[in-house]
């Protein structure tokens, strides 16, 4: 069971993100964007769209491509300026009486709700962050959860999340890291049958497009219409729409899947190496990062920084503290460099 906590004022800096931890010259284990991205074929197509910038953006082709990729109708798709815009649109449109955010998770969903004036209740899962659907209050009419979750890397079973959907409740599942999981077996993106479900996806992480602002949400057509009405006109630029279209083709999905398989192997090796050094690695990691616990981890973070390596602090995530760090999984050679440095420091 998780710990319930009404947090009247944020007790942590919800607006702290991993990019603040990386300064030029540091080896980056802090930000979860895949290295070596965007791939050249994608960068070329985005660059080619510059010739079309005189016209206002037309989301039609991207919407159709995203719908096909997730076996949904185009009317169930809303393109957004990254997942971040989707959180803001939901906060603007919904009038929750009891909003519950499952933590530890990415802090922007809670920050967006608060910025829109909604009280937020936290369901803080204890380590190892397994979600019991019964821990979510039955009368919560808005539930926000990540899958796989940042920063825990925990992947909740689709059945667990599906059990949270019900009439009268909006269930928001942030799947910004779903394509880290080969075959995406726990994704709810194709589940048009679940009442009140909103799935949020991002192109930022897997495709290396943090600076472009490209993402989308999948929901019932009436929800999509209401959210679209709250969206600034032409919010998603033509290059971002080209990216959404190109990243939804079977070719792109297969490329992401092949990467996810390599990631799984690199992650397993890295997790074993870190465990061997005495760090407690949160088990069952499914995303492109590991959450580790070590007494005095905040000092280790400072020492790593002195050695030219950036990792993500854990203490700005509700439910974690100064003993936690999030470490991105890189290729095996880069991971080994991190392991060697850690071995020297420990």
Residues that bind ligand PLP (CB under 6 A): 82-84, 106, 146, 150, 174, 176, 202, 204, 210, 215
* 250-276 helix and 332-345 helix, angle to the nearest 10 degrees: 20
Q: What is the DSSP string of 18-35?
A: GGGG--TTSEEES--SPT
CA angle, residues 115, 216, 236, in degrees to nearest 5: 80
Sheet with 99-103, edge to edge strand ranges: 3-6, 121-124, 99-103, 142-146, 170-174, 197-202, 215-218, 77-80
315 alpha-carbon distance from chain centroid: 18
Compute the least distance from the CB of residue 187 to ligand PLP, in Å: 14
d(CA 135, CA 121): 13
Closest distance of CB 152 from ligand PLP, Å: 11
Least distance (Å) from ligand PLP to the CB of residue 325? 16
In the complex, what is the shortest distance from the CB of residue 177 to ligand PLP, in angstroms, rounded to a whole number?
6
Containing H/E element for 203? none
Rounded to a whole number of angstroms, the minimum distance from the CB of residue 286 to ligand PLP is 13
76 contacts 67 by C-beta, under 8 angstroms: yes
Q: Whole-number minimum distance, CB 81 to ligand PLP, in Å?
A: 8
Count each helix (H run) and each strand (E run) in the chain, helices first: 11, 13
Cα-Cα-Cα-Cα dihedral sign, residues 252, 330, 271, 148: negative
Nearest to 240 by CA among 85, 70, 8: 85
Shortest Cβ 26–ligand PLP spacing (Å): 18
- Quick one: 14 or 273, whose CB is closer to ligand PLP? 14
Between residues 17 and 45, which has the closer beta carbon with respect to ligand PLP?
17
Nearer to ligand PLP by C-beta: 108 or 339?
108
Q: How far is the CB of 149 from ligand PLP (least distance, A)?
A: 7
Nearer to ligand PLP, 239 or 339 (CB): 239
**In terms of CB distance, is 235 or 341 closer to ligand PLP?**
235
3-class SS string, 60-100: HHHHHHHHHHCCCCHHHEEEECHHHHHHHHHHHHCCCCCEE
Distance from the Cα of residue 152 to its chain's centroid: 11
Residue (210 or 264) nearer to ligand PLP, CB? 210
Angle at 242 between CA 238 and CA 247, to 5 degrees: 150
User: Which residue number, 196 or 215, has a Cβ lying nearer to ligand PLP?
Assistant: 215
DSSP state of 339: H
Chain position whose Cβ is nearest to ligand PLP: 82
Question: Whose Cβ is closer to ligand PLP: residue 290's or residue 342's?
Answer: 290
| Nearer Cβ to ligand PLP (100/176) | 176
Provide DSSP, 220-274: -HHHHHHHHHTSPTT-S-HHHHHHHHHTTSHHHHHHHHHHHHHHHHHHHHHHHHH
Shortest distance (Å) from residue 213 CB to ligand PLP: 7
């Amino acid at each position: 069971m998780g710990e319930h906590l009404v947090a009247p004022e944020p007790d942590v800096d919800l607006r702290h993100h991993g990019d603040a931890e990386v300064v030029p010259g540091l080896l980056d284990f802090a930000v979860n964007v895949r290295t070596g991205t965007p791939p050249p074929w994608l960068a070329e197509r985005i660059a080619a769209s510059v010739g079309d910038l005189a016209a206002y953006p037309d989301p039609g082709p991207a919407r159709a491509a995203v719908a096909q990729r997730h076996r949904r109708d185009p009317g169930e798709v809303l393109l957004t300026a990254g997942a971040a815009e989707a959180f803001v649109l939901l906060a603007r449109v919904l009038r929750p009486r009891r909003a519950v955010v499952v933590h530890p998770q990415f802090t922007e969903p809670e920050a967006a709700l608060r910025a829109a004036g909604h009280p937020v209740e936290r369901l803080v899962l204890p380590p190892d962050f397994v979600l019991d659907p019964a821990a979510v209050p039955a009368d919560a009419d808005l539930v926000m959860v990540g899958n796989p979750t940042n920063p825990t890397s925990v992947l909740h079973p689709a059945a667990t999340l599906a059990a949270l959907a019900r009439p009268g409740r909006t269930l928001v599942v942030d799947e910004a890291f779903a394509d880290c999981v080969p075959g995406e077996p726990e994704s709810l993106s194709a589940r048009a049958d679940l009442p009140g479900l909103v799935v949020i996806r991002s192109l930022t992480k897997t495709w290396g497009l943090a600076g472009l602002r490209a993402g989308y949400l999948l929901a019932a057509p009436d929800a999509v219409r209401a959210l679209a009405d709250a969206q600034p006109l032409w919010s998603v630029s033509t290059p971002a729409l080209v990216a959404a279209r190109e990243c939804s083709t079977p070719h792109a999905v297969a490329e992401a899947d092949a990467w996810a398989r390599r990631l799984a192997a690199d992650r397993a090796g890295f997790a074993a190496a870190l465990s061997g050094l005495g760090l407690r690695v949160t088990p069952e990691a499914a995303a492109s990062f590991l959450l580790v616990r070590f007494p005095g981890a905040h000092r280790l973070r400072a020492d790593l920084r002195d050695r030219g390596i950036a990792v993500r602090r854990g203490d700005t995530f509700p439910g974690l503290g100064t003993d936690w760090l999030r470490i991105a999984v890189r290729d095996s050679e880069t991971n080994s460099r991190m392991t060697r440095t850690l071995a020297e420091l420990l």
